Structure 1
Amino acid sequence: MYRTLIRYGYVPFMLLGVNGAAVAVAASGGSKLWLVGLLLAAIGCSFAAERVLPYEAEWNRAAGDGGRDVAHAGVNELLLLVSVGVIPLLAATVTVADVWPRSWPFALQVLGAVLVADLGITLTHYASHKIGVLWRFHAVHHSIKRFYGFNGLMKHPLHQTLEMAVGVAPLVLIGLPFDVASALAVIVAVQLLLQHSNADYRVGALTYVLALNEGHRFHHLKWAGIGDVNFGLFTLIWDHLLGTFSYDPDRRFTSDQLGMAAKPNYPTGYLAQLAEPFRASGACHVTDAPSGDAPAVSTGTRRRKEGPVLS
């Protein structure tokens, strides 16, 4: 019974329950400590769901990466909260035209912010796979060998800052309110937990629309080109338009398929990962997806052979 409840109820609980509570708190002007509490509750639910209904039981066991992942999550979540804190200052100094739709219901304002941020973050993510200097920093996120909730927050802090800056900049320029930004910060964190979750949940046809774990696992395939798919944070709408959507319901993933084939010995320590983008070894090079090892990935309704890309 519990497994069935998690399989079909976990995502609605997080998207509607936790996010809905965050929107309600932000709309009421309540203490932002409630938002921190909601975030901690979401993390607890994420770990619980992964243990009751794991996609891959091995991914629930730390492999010398637990402390590193906690460090990444703590630093990046703090950065996310700090970025929300400076919204009033930014709004007062860089707003081009204060045309924010304050007359809309608060929940609709948040939804609009989510969709705008999704476009900016998706395009930054896409560019990070194509531009060498950006990939140096994004590679930290792709070094993972197990796929679980905390992986969503395992990013180089400079890359995390860039993604959020690009995603939120258009909103700030038109007068993003502080309370909407506060709700957005929680929703981003919840989405990252869901997107990288090891819970074997199901969302049916929404797999083709929402950027959740079933689709995002394809993005973490270790072969260059093969993993350059499903870039969206909240939705897969932009991936459909970019031609980068990929999904095969029969595909099964293991740790051997994750990481970076071109950099199998990428540093695993927190401080080493912060330094790696600045070292010569953190550079990119062009390579072809191996035809013998990497299986074909279904993109839309057809299968394609990937060309040379950065790895």
Structure 2
Amino acid sequence: MKTWILRLYAPVFLFGFVAAAAWWVGYRHGSALWLLPGLALAIGLSFLAERRWPYDPAFNRDHGDRGRDVAHALVNEGLNLASIALVPLAAGWVAWQAWPSQWPFAAQLLLAVVCADFGITLMHYASHRVGWLWRLHAVHHSVTRMYGFNGLMKHPLHQAVEALGGVLPLLLLGMPQPVAAVLAFAIAVQLLLQHANVDMRPGALWRLMAWAPLHRFHHLRYGSAGDVNFGLFFTVWDRLLGTAFDAPGYRIGGGDLGIGSQPDYPRDYLDQLRAPFARLPQKAEPALPAALRRTGAQSLS
């Protein structure tokens, strides 16, 4: 029974919540504000699953970071809500209407997810190669445990940059507000799954979906070893970029996470908002564990 729960957890969680949101907003024309309690429910269920089937029980213990992570989540989701409210205004600036409004809502949502995933993945990739983007993105990589809330922990300026890369082209095409609202909800749910401390085992879907079993390697603290698995929803972009990676059997622990060259990265919320603009001390990067250099570690491209 446990094996099937862990195999079905991620697909049922993602497709269940997103399908419910699409039904309510897209087909029942309900208020998108009801997606907020839906997200709260998703967070609550994620926490329960992390305690019932943890990948690493130590990741469930508060490291003095819970209040900070709540602050990140409230600010960033509040900004998401504000940006969704501005979608009709942005649509008014578009002189043409190229969005396929005649498509079924589910098809419009799938188009939005694929296009946003591509743009956000490219911005994420750039954030590991462009200095000022990395300084903003480093806030997210400073975590030393992985659990669902980590997905909502970002510097608000970096979230804005990623959102522009993923959503601006859709807005220019005339994406309607209901689609934008469910897209934002789907992204938040997927971020919970990417960082969840759940010992999920999604079977064949692990090669398609960018869930926690692959995304944990993106948070490795060993220099460029974490420059892998950038995709938000799908692994196809990493395959095309040559950055898809897995090390079967390697169990990532707290000592593998964080920024190796900045082990004393600021932990307080306000300090993290200031960190990208401060000169932070640098240390030598730790050595990559031998297990990650063995032949078992492999590219998935």
Are the counterparts in 2 of residues 226 and 289 from structure 1 also a CA contact under 8 Å?
A: no
Are the counterparts in 2 of residues 225 and 289 from structure 1 also a CA contact under 8 Å?
A: no
Distance in 1 of aligned mates of 2:286 and 2:129: 15
TM value normalised by structure 2: 0.94
> Which residue in the other structure is 2:91 paired with?
91
Distance in 2 of aligned mates of 1:23 and 1:138: 30
> Over aligned residue pairs, what C-alpha RMSD do you find?
1.9
Shift, 1:8, TM fit: 2.4
Are the counterparts in 2 of residues 244 and 299 from structure 1 also a CA contact under 8 Å?
A: no
Moved beyond 6 Å, runs of 4+: none
Distance in 2 of aligned mates of 1:5 and 1:291: 34
> Which residue in the other structure is 1:306 paired with?
none
Q: Deviations over 1:261-307 (max 9, x none)?
A: 1000000000000001011228x99x8874677832734269xxxxx
Provide the secondary structure at the position in 2 that maps to 1:210: coil
2:293 partner letter: A
Provide the secondary structure at the position in 1 that maps to 2:247: coil
Distance in 1 of aligned mates of 2:285 and 2:269: 29
Distance in 2 of aligned mates of 1:301 and 1:25: 37
2:125 partner letter: Y
Q: Deviations over 1:100-142 (max 9, x none)?
A: 1111110110011000000110000000000000000000000
> Which residue in the other structure is 1:44 paired with?
44
Distance in 1 of aligned mates of 2:184 and 2:300: 35
2:137 partner letter: H
> Which residue in the other structure is 2:61 paired with?
61
Distance in 2 of aligned mates of 1:14 and 1:6: 11
> Which residue in the other structure is 2:73 paired with?
73
Are the counterparts in 2 of residues 69 and 150 from structure 1 also a CA contact under 8 Å?
A: yes
Note closer, same or farther for the CA distance 1:294–1:202 as it changes in structure 2 (3 Å cut): closer
1:296 partner letter: R
Note closer, same or farther for the CA distance 1:85–1:299 as it changes in structure 2 (3 Å cut): farther
Shift, 1:33, TM fit: 2.7
Matched, 1:295 2:292: yes
Shift, 1:97, TM fit: 3.1
> Which residue in the other structure is 1:259 paired with?
258
> Which residue in the other structure is 2:270 paired with?
271
Are the counterparts in 2 of residues 50 and 198 from structure 1 also a CA contact under 8 Å?
A: yes
Where in structure 2 are the equivalents of 1:1-311 lying within 5 Å?
1=1, 3-4=2-3, 6-27=5-26, 28-93=28-93, 95=94, 97-281=96-280, 290=287, 295-296=292-293, 298-300=297-299
Are the counterparts in 2 of residues 6 and 49 from structure 1 also a CA contact under 8 Å?
A: no
Distance in 2 of aligned mates of 1:56 and 1:231: 22
Distance in 1 of aligned mates of 2:298 and 2:131: 24
Q: Deviations over 1:49-91 (max 9, x none)?
A: 1010000001001010010010011111111111111111011
Are the counterparts in 2 of residues 225 and 288 from structure 1 also a CA contact under 8 Å?
A: no
State, as a whole percentage, how many aligned pairs show the same letter.
51
Shift, 1:9, TM fit: 2.8
TM value normalised by structure 1: 0.91
Q: Deviations over 1:187-232 (max 9, x none)?
A: 0100000000001111112111111000000000001110000000
Are the counterparts in 1 of residues 32 and 178 from structure 2 also a CA contact under 8 Å?
A: no
Give the number of equivalent residue pairs: 298
Are the counterparts in 2 of residues 145 and 255 from structure 1 also a CA contact under 8 Å?
A: yes
Are the counterparts in 2 of residues 6 and 53 from structure 1 also a CA contact under 8 Å?
A: no
Note closer, same or farther for the CA distance 1:7–1:301 as it changes in structure 2 (3 Å cut): closer
Are the counterparts in 2 of residues 145 and 256 from structure 1 also a CA contact under 8 Å?
A: yes
Note closer, same or farther for the CA distance 1:293–1:191 as it changes in structure 2 (3 Å cut): same
Distance in 1 of aligned mates of 2:300 and 2:168: 35
Distance in 2 of aligned mates of 1:49 and 1:168: 31
